[in-house]
């Protein structure tokens, strides 16, 4: 039993799921499948949270998550269960590049884990880190295996075992691009379970990386869905509909009191799925259940559980759909991760989506889709859409090594998301009120693999009561 469900022993007959992102949808489906009466309340006018779709240049594109980690096989098995298994696709094997302050770009080394090299002598590692940096890394990594094994953050571990050059030139851009945080703020055990134990066992971090990689199934570390990851959210919405889950959109939970929640009185009307209704406007409304599942994301989760609020930054995504035949050659593979301090670029990552996903290239029919991500304050909410479009095109020109012409851009879009907050301490859920459990990225770790696996575990424990 996890800390999340230890508190209450009462049977779960009626559950209230707060938040309709993937975590909430997964829990709601599993509880409803087991015969629990489920009500799901979602503050916005759509379900899916950070998984959703927008149309740019006539192409239906992922507006948030666009892939899933294949580790553990959890998401793949879940997609099979939802009938989406035939749509699972692997990204183009050309891989991504990394761009440095020097303006130079390099293909990412093949034998790494989160950018931590498995072979410090490999040519592709020396090319990125430099001869002096790899020599220093090899010297540090020759220390006994228990040196650094108590470091809990990825940054701390890499700094001690391989030094600043490996951290700055490889690990930081990869972690920043994938997890939107600095490696110092990311728990090793969450993103690379078993790595610290392997370090003690193998005696070096490079050998530990190889050993953890050898245990992982062969093939790509990530996969996607033909049609986009938004199909996952759509399939889950259809499931809730089929199972008769009551879904209330525009229903913002303002307060949590034991096993009851208070909805804002001025909730907006909306509709998604046959079972969806809009929340009533007027007086605040109270809902009660045997169990309340908080699936609200980092910021709201802190507020509702009485933790100190934490100002969240923004991640801005700029998507360009353009026609330039020079991009057919995928000059930087599937995209570029940007090291801090790279000259003349404000983006932290670029995904060449039509190079990464062959199904999308087919649909784009000769056009290209580039997706650039920015951390605030590099590009703030004050930037106009036209300014963002120009910035994104200028950055894409630097990162792809080509001068892209504004006249080739057929359409552009901007999406803004809350940046993840530092992960909450393990055990944060144990202090929740009796009958309240938490799921989602803040407690499970960022990414669909972690979020889905954790949400299913919590649902199974609630059902098993
Ligand atoms: C741009 C971007 C790209 C990403 N790319 C990937 C990727 O490629 N691969 C991957 O695995 N992961 C990726 N992720 C991360 C992944 O999408 C998330 O970890 C996951 O979707 C989080 O799901 P969740 O249900 O925990 O939270 P969310 O999706 O944030 O859902 C929380 C829901 O709760 C609702 N809510 C909030 N407050 C309240 C309230 N008070 N009352 C009622 N409802 C409320 C919100 O409106 C929202 O719908 C990406 C994330 C972003 C933003």
Q: What is the CATH number of the domain that holds 207?
A: 1.10.3110.10
* Å from CA of 185 to ligand 1 middle: 19
430 pLDDT band, cuts 50/70/90, is: low
State pTM to two decimals: 0.89
Residues 34 and 170 in one domain: no
Residues 304 and 354 in one domain: no
Task: Please report the pLDDT score of residue 300 as a whole number.
Answer: 80
Task: Please report the pLDDT score of residue 267 as a whole number.
Answer: 46
377 pLDDT band, cuts 50/70/90, is: low
Residues 318 and 340 in one domain: yes
Closest residue by CA, ligand 1 atom 5: 65
Residues 413 and 326 in one domain: yes
State how many domains the chain has: 3
Q: What is the CATH number of the domain that holds 261?
A: 3.50.50.60
Residues 342 and 368 in one domain: yes
- Read off the pLDDT of each residue in 272-276 and give the average, rounded to a whole number: 44
- Residues 98-152: pLDDT tens digits? 998 878 899 998 888 999 999 999 999 999 999 999 999 999 999 999 999 999 9
Q: What is the CATH number of the domain that holds 340?
A: 3.90.660.20
**CA–CA gap between residue 56 and residue 373 (Å, rounded):** 16
* Å from CA of 365 to ligand 1 middle: 31
**CA–CA gap between residue 61 and residue 369 (Å, rounded):** 9
Residues 170 and 123 in one domain: yes
Nearest-atom number in ligand 1 for the CA of 69 is 11
Residues 348 and 370 in one domain: yes
User: Quick one: which of 134, 83, 127, 135 has its CA closest to 107?
Assistant: 127
- Residues 175-226: pLDDT tens digits? 988 887 899 999 899 888 899 999 999 999 999 999 988 877 666 789 999 9
* Å from CA of 408 to ligand 1 middle: 33
Task: Please report the pLDDT score of residue 308 as a whole number.
Answer: 67
Quick check: helix, strand or coil at residue 405?
A: coil
Tell me whether residue 236 is in a domain: yes
3-state helix, strand, coil in the chain (%, to 5): 40, 20, 40
Residues 345 and 378 in one domain: yes
Range of the domain at 392: 53-92+313-418
Mean pLDDT of the chain: 89
Residues 246 and 387 in one domain: no
Tell me whether residue 446 is in a domain: yes
Residues 429 and 306 in one domain: yes
Compute the residue count for the chain.
465
Residues 428 and 302 in one domain: yes
- Two structure tokens written together for 431: 């202090």
- Residues 248-259: pLDDT tens digits? 999 999 989 889
Residues 376 and 456 in one domain: no
Q: Which residues line ligand 1 (CB under 6 A)?
A: 18-24, 41-44, 49-51, 64-69, 252-253, 295-297, 300, 315, 317, 417, 440-441, 446-449, 451
Best residue for ligand 1 mutational test, from 41, 68, 296 (most atoms within 8 Å of Cβ) = 296
Work out the widest C-alpha separation in the chain, in whole angstroms.
Answer: 67
Q: Is the pLDDT of residue 92 over 80?
A: yes
- Read off the pLDDT of each residue in 18-27 and give the average, rounded to a whole number: 97
* Å from CA of 51 to ligand 1 middle: 7
* Å from CA of 48 to ligand 1 middle: 7
Nearest-atom number in ligand 1 for the CA of 446 is 19
* Å from CA of 290 to ligand 1 middle: 25
Task: Please report the pLDDT score of residue 376 as a whole number.
Answer: 76
Task: Please report the pLDDT score of residue 433 as a whole number.
Answer: 84
Task: Please report the pLDDT score of residue 11 as a whole number.
Answer: 67
Tell me whether residue 102 is in a domain: no
Nearest-atom number in ligand 1 for the CA of 222 is 9
Q: Which of 151, 185, 216 is the last residue of a domain?
A: 216
């Amino acid at each position: 039993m996890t800390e999340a469900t230890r508190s209450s022993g009462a049977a779960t007959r009626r559950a209230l799921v707060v938040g309709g992102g993937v975590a909430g949808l997964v829990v709601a489906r599993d509880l409803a499948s087991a015969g629990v009466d489920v009500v799901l309340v979602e503050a916005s006018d759509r379900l899916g949270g950070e998984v959703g779709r927008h149309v740019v240049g006539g192409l239906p594109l992922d507006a948030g998550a666009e892939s899933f980690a294949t580790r553990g096989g959890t998401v793949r098995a879940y997609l099979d269960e939802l009938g989406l298994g035939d749509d699972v696709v692997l990204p183009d094997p050309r891989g991504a590049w990394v761009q440095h302050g020097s303006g130079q770009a390099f293909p990412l080394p093949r034998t790494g884990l989160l950018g931590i090299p498995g072979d410090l002598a490999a040519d592709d590692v020396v090319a990125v880190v430099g001869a002096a940096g790899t020599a220093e890394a090899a010297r540090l990594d020759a220390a006994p295996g228990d040196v650094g094994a108590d470091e809990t953050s990825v940054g701390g571990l890499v700094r001690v075992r391989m030094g600043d050059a490996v951290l700055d030139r490889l690990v930081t851009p990869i972690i920043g691009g994938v997890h939107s945080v600095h490696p110092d703020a990311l728990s090793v055990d969450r993103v690379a379970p078993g790595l610290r134990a392997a370090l003690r066992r193998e005696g070096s971090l490079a050998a530990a990386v190889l050993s953890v990689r050898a245990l992982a199934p062969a093939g790509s570390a990530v996969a996607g869905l033909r049609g986009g990851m938004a199909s996952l959210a759509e399939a889950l919405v259809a499931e809730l509909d089929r199972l008769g889950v009551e879904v209330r959109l525009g229903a913002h939970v303002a307060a949590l009191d034991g096993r009851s929640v208070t909805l804002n009185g001025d909730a907006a009307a909306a509709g998604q799925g046959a079972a969806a209704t809009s929340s009533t406007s007027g007086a605040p409304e109270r809902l009660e259940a045997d169990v309340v599942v908080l699936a609200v994301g980092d910021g709201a989760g802190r507020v509702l559980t009485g933790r100190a609020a934490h100002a969240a930054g923004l991640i801005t995504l700029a998507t360009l759909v353009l026609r330039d035949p020079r991009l057919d050659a995928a000059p930087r593979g599937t995209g570029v991760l940007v090291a801090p301090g790279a000259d003349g670029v404000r983006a932290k990552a670029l995904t060449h989506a039509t190079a990464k996903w062959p199904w999308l290239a087919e649909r784009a029919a000769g056009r290209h889709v580039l997706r650039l991500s920015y951390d605030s304050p590099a590009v703030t909410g004050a930037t106009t859409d036209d300014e963002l479009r120009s910035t994104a095109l200028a950055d894409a020109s630097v990162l792809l090594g080509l001068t892209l012409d504004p006249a080739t851009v057929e359409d552009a879009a901007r999406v803004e998301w809350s940046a993840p907050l530092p992960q909450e301490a393990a055990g944060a859920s144990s202090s929740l009120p009796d009958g309240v459990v938490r799921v989602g990225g803040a407690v499970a770790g960022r990414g669909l693999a972690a979020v889905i696996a954790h949400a299913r575990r919590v649902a199974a424990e609630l059902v098993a009561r």
